[in-house]
Amino acid sequence: MKRSKLRTRSELMEAALGFGLGAVGGGILGATEDPVDRIVSAMTASGPLQPVVEEVQVMGPLGLGSLMGATALTTAMTSVIAGVILAAVVASVFVAMRSCSTSYTNSAGLWVSAGFAGILGTTLSGATFGKAIEWIVNTYGMVGLLWALGLFTVLKPPLNVLFNLLWSQGEVCCTIGSEVMSREREDIAITEWQQRERVALQIEERILSVEKGGDTMDDKTRWISEKREREKIERRKMETEDAEMEQRTIHDWINTVLVKHVDFLAFSGIPMAIVSIVTSVLGLFGYGSHQVVFIVLVALVGLIAFLLLQSSDFKFWMLLGCIGMFATFIIAMLTLHAEQMVVISANKMRTVGHNQSKELIAAQMNFQSSLEAVSTAFFGAKLCQLGLGATVGGALVRRAAGEVKVIVGAALVAGILLAGTEVLAAVLGDGGMAGALLGVVGAAGVSVGATAATATRWSSWSGTVGTVGGLILGALVMGKWHTVNIGLQVPVAFVFAMSNPF
């Protein structure tokens, strides 16, 4: 859209309004920092981390890092898509039932119901996945998590085909909407036919009246009344056609969003799952710390990225698949680096006369690599949730859903869910709480993405600068000046908000 779309105020008013909207979007992002830090600290405490520490000896630091990274990113992507699917279903039913009167675009009910359903679905699915991962790790260890990731990756493409088949053949909501529209068209046609018959009879009566020399005043009154009736019918017909066109347009957009995200869910996780499975299996066969694993990992990442980028029909899921795969690679490298830092530190201590036993050094290596794997995987999942949420928020603003409604609404729902997760922390446990908080971050990402998209639509640079300044300042103040974390998250949100996967 053109920047002039938002020019309804002076430059000073634009800057003030932009700063306020930016502060709302940044504030909810910053508000998630402290709860997320607390849950990461709880997950990386010695007790909860012990199952991971025990398993790092089985598959090595590279295998552990890639497995944790792929699992965390897959969970984040899946929970976001679950929310998008639920929001699309709710919006489709809303549009088909024509519950938003004359305009779907400006209907608060449509966007509120779809947005709340999407954010709630993301949070609940995130909590469910987090709880499930925690149970798998505690019960079956990392090998069980590897099997679960592989099975889930294999099942997603067939489920994608099944879902698309059911959606295309079912579409009950669209059928209901078509029946409503059809009945209204028939009603208008009948009314129009009756009006024409009435006019025909009045013409015959007028002819007879003229032949008899009767008064024409009553005829003029009736003609004026019929003219008004005819204009009313034409206006109703035009409104119905516009509503039907708008319904068809927004329903097509919902279908496009749904298909794109379901494809993304089915295929984007395959590259990073392949990397994780190959690296973990090599670790299980005793090559967890061998140099050959690093060589295989680099070659595999390069080959998959080359094949995806060479595709003539490059799609959104391919881009996100490459990003997820590189994120998994980075998490694996950081996990290996944490282990190597322990060895370097032990060597430095040995040179100054402080010798440590091999058992102590090995225990420290396992602990540090496990700590790095869990913390970096969670941070990667957090960035993934934020980016995908920003993609949705940016698309909604470009769709003219209303900047204030999207920014403030998403922030409000995210704040409510954040308070709800704090209340249910004891019930959710560490895993469920982590997944739920990732869902809240995704909701905050919708608000941040909408803010970023709004910043590019002002007619003057003062509005843009005010919006960006409010976003950064709000995030820093509410995030207790976590400069590094905020500094990484805001650019990611801007990049994803500007992308158009549809």
pLDDT of residue 406: 85
User: Mean pLDDT of all residues in the chain?
Assistant: 80
Question: In 3-state terms, the chain is what percent helix, strand and coil (to 5)?
Answer: 90, 0, 10
pLDDT of residue 178: 53
Phi, psi values for residue 36, rounded to 5°: -65, -40
Name the band, by pLDDT with cuts 50, 70 and 90, for residue 101: very low
Name the band, by pLDDT with cuts 50, 70 and 90, for residue 280: confident
pLDDT of residue 358: 74
Residue 2 has pLDDT above 50, yes or no: no
- The mean per-residue pLDDT over the stretch 361-369 comes to 84
Phi, psi values for residue 100, rounded to 5°: -110, 35
Residue 501 has pLDDT above 70, yes or no: no
Nearest of 228, 214, 322, 316 to residue 270 by alpha carbon = 322
Count of Cβ atoms closer than 10 Å to residue 145 Cβ:
21
- The mean per-residue pLDDT over the stretch 35-54 comes to 84
Radius of gyration of the chain (CA): 30
Phi, psi values for residue 88, rounded to 5°: -65, -40
% of the chain exceeding 70 in pLDDT: 80
Q: Higher-confidence residue: 315 or 332?
A: 332
**Separation between Cα atoms, residue 85 and residue 163, nearest integer Å:** 11
**Separation between Cα atoms, residue 488 and residue 411, nearest integer Å:** 20
Residue 292 has pLDDT above 60, yes or no: yes
Question: Quick check: helix, strand or coil at residue 88?
Answer: helix
pLDDT of residue 195: 64
The mean-pLDDT minimum among 3-7, 57-61, 366-370 falls in 3-7
Question: Quick check: helix, strand or coil at residue 399?
Answer: coil
pLDDT of residue 480: 83
The CA–CA distances, whole Å, from 87 to 106, 109, 123, 439 equal 17, 13, 13, 14
- Residues with Cβ < 8 Å from 491, sequence gap 6 or more? none
- The mean per-residue pLDDT over the stretch 282-305 comes to 81
Residue 304 has pLDDT above 70, yes or no: yes
pLDDT of residue 207: 62
pLDDT of residue 108: 63
The mean-pLDDT minimum among 8-22, 56-70, 477-491 falls in 8-22
**Separation between Cα atoms, residue 468 and residue 498, nearest integer Å:** 14
The mean-pLDDT minimum among 1-5, 42-46, 125-129 falls in 1-5
Name the band, by pLDDT with cuts 50, 70 and 90, for residue 174: low
Are 75 and 439 in contact by the 8 Å Cβ rule? The answer is no
pLDDT of residue 6: 55
pLDDT of residue 24: 92
Name the band, by pLDDT with cuts 50, 70 and 90, for residue 208: low
Which of 7-21, 45-59, 128-142, 355-369 reaches the highest mean pLDDT? 128-142
Residue 189 has pLDDT above 80, yes or no: no
- The mean per-residue pLDDT over the stretch 367-389 comes to 89
CB-based burial, 16-32: b 16+ in 10 Å, e otherwise: bbbbbbbbbbbbbbbbb
Q: Higher-confidence residue: 479 or 103?
A: 479
**Separation between Cα atoms, residue 445 and residue 390, nearest integer Å:** 5
**Separation between Cα atoms, residue 398 and residue 249, nearest integer Å:** 15
- The mean per-residue pLDDT over the stretch 457-471 comes to 86
% of the chain exceeding 90 in pLDDT: 6
Give the CA angle between residues 32, 37, 42 to the nearest 5°: 130
**Separation between Cα atoms, residue 156 and residue 126, nearest integer Å:** 17
Q: Each residue of 78-93: pLDDT tens digit?
A: 888 888 888 888 877 7
The CA–CA distances, whole Å, from 75 to 40, 226, 370, 390, 400 equal 16, 64, 19, 17, 30
The mean-pLDDT minimum among 28-32, 115-119, 205-209, 440-444 falls in 205-209
- The mean per-residue pLDDT over the stretch 304-329 comes to 84
Residue 102 has pLDDT above 50, yes or no: no
pLDDT of residue 451: 92
212, HSE (Cβ side, Cα atoms, 13 Å): 9
Q: Each residue of 468-497: pLDDT tens digit?
A: 999 999 999 888 888 888 888 999 999 888
Q: Higher-confidence residue: 304 or 205?
A: 304
Spacing of C-alpha 250 from chain mean position: 19
pLDDT of residue 448: 92
Residue 100 has pLDDT above 60, yes or no: no
What is the dihedral sign for C-alpha 246, 252, 253, 258? positive
**Separation between Cα atoms, residue 234 and residue 224, nearest integer Å:** 15
CB-based burial, 80-105: b 16+ in 10 Å, e otherwise: bbbbbbbbbbbbbbbbbebebeeebe
Are 92 and 174 in contact by the 8 Å Cβ rule? The answer is yes
